[in-house]
């Protein structure tokens, strides 16, 4: 079997129809992981030990079990639509990674900043909102961007719970026509074309802002 250009051009628009779902799922999941990630980070820093240990345990469990199995679990345990399930599960899964990123950002804020806010009689909420977070977030933006790209490349998993994203469409084309080469290559090509420029942009941001200490060891896929 060789590459068939006519067939490739014929199916390209059909696969492209799935790109909206893929990107939609990516951004919904990313929004969830950004929000939940911050909540997890803050809870984990709680001085009430049972709470912070429980949160640390939950984070560890979600982090080291396969997202695919988590998808199946939630899909069959709760009565939610496939897209919603997919966005929530991927969002929650990556919130555990994102919380690690927030943590490194918060840890890189000098201790004197905390002491200064205390001296100025700031409340804890004011300290976080006006002093710590505004300094902790900007340096970690490139790393958060990295996780957006990783999340994007994880979305084909959603075909496991019947979300009609690009890979699902490619597989059904393959099943109908017995030609897998073109549809799968096209999906890979679309992933590469969309993710590579973003990755280059993020590397540029990283170089501009300079790496923050301790950031490299956690982000495996950074």
- Tokens 């399930």 belong to 85
Residue with smaller CB distance to other proteins, 63 or 128: 63
Residues near 149 by beta carbon (within 8 Å), at least 6 away in sequence: 195, 198, 199, 202
Instruction: By CB under 8 A, tell whether 140 contacts other proteins.
Output: no
Cα separation, 201 vs 176, whole angstroms: 38
Identify residues 56-75 at the interface with other proteins (CB under 8 A).
60-61, 63-70, 72-73
The count of other CB atoms within 10 Å of the CB of residue 51 is 12
Residue with smaller CB distance to other proteins, 207 or 218: 218
Instruction: By CB under 8 A, tell whether 174 contacts other proteins.
Output: yes
The count of other CB atoms within 10 Å of the CB of residue 111 is 8
CA dihedral 152, 154, 159, 164 (to 10 degrees): 0
Instruction: By CB under 8 A, tell whether 29 contacts other proteins.
Output: no
Q: For residue 172, what are its two tokens? A: 């059904």
Tell me how far the alpha carbon of residue 45 is from its chain's centroid. Answer: 22
Residue with smaller CB distance to other proteins, 87 or 89: 89
Instruction: By CB under 8 A, tell whether 23 contacts other proteins.
Output: no
Q: Quote the least distance from Cβ 156 to other proteins, whole Å.
A: 4
Q: Quote the least distance from Cβ 143 to other proteins, whole Å.
A: 14
Residues that bind other proteins (CB under 8 A): 1-2, 60-61, 63-70, 72-73, 76-77, 153-157, 159-160, 167, 170-171, 174, 179-181, 184-185, 187-189, 191-192, 195-196, 199, 216-218, 220-222
């Amino acid at each position: 079997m060789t590459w068939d250009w006519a067939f490739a051009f014929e199916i390209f628009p059909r696969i492209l129809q799935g790109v909206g779902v893929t990107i939609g799922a990516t951004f919904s999941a990313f929004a969830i992981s950004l929000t939940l990630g911050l909540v997890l980070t803050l809870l984990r820093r709680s001085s009430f030990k049972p709470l912070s240990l429980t949160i640390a345990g939950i984070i560890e469990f979600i982090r080291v079990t396969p997202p695919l199995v988590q998808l199946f679990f939630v899909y069959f345990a709760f009565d939610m639509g496939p897209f919603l399930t997919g966005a929530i599960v991927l969002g929650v899964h990556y919130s555990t990674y994102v919380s690690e990123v927030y943590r490194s950002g918060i840890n890189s804020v000098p201790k004197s900043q905390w002491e200064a806010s205390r001296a100025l009689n700031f409340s804890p909420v004011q300290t976080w909102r006006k002093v710590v977070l505004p300094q902790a977030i900007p340096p970690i933006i490139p790393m958060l961007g990295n996780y957006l790209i990783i999340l994007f490349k994880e979305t084909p998993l959603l075909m496991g719970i019947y979300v009609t994203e690009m890979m699902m469409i490619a597989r059904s084309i393959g099943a109908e026509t017995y030609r897998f080469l073109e549809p799968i290559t096209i999906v890979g090509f679309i992933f590469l074309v969309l993710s590579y420029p973003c990755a280059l942009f993020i590397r540029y941001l990283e170089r501009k802002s300079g790496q923050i200490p301790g950031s490299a060891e956690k982000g495996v896929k950074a």
